[in-house]
Amino acid sequence: MVTAVTGVLSLLKDAGLSLASVQRAQITEEQSSTLFWINMLVGAVLAFLLLAIAPVLAAFITSPASSG
C-alpha cells in the first residue's frame, strides 16, 4: 500500500518541470532558481498531503475488512 501511494506521489512531484527545462536550449540562472523553488513547493505540498492521509491509510490497512 505504501509503495502504491508513494509511487503516485512520485509521479506528481516533478510536474514536468525538469522536462521543460531540459528541452530549452539555454536556461538562465533566474529560471533555474524559479524551477528549484517550484519543485521545493510541490515537494512540500505532497509531503504535507502524505502526512494528512497517513492516518486514513493506517486505518484502512488495519481494518478487519482488508484482511483476506
Q: What pLDDT does 50 receive? A: 86
Q: Is the sign of the CA dihedral 36, 37, 43, 47 positive or negative?
A: positive
Which pLDDT does position 38 carry in this prediction? Answer: 87
Residue-wise pLDDT tens for the chain (68 aa)?
778 877 887 777 766 777 777 777 888 899 889 888 988 888 898 889 889 988 988 888 877 765 55
- Backbone phi, psi, residue 43, to 5°: -60, -40
pLDDT at residue number 48: 92
pLDDT at 52: 92
| SS3 annotation, the chain | CHHHHHHHHHHHHCCCHHHHHHHCCCCCHHHHHHHHHHHHHHHHHHHHHHHHHHHHHHHHHHCHHHCC
d(CA 43, CA 54): 16
Q: Residue ranges of the domains in the chain?
A: 29-63
- At residue 47, the pLDDT reads 87
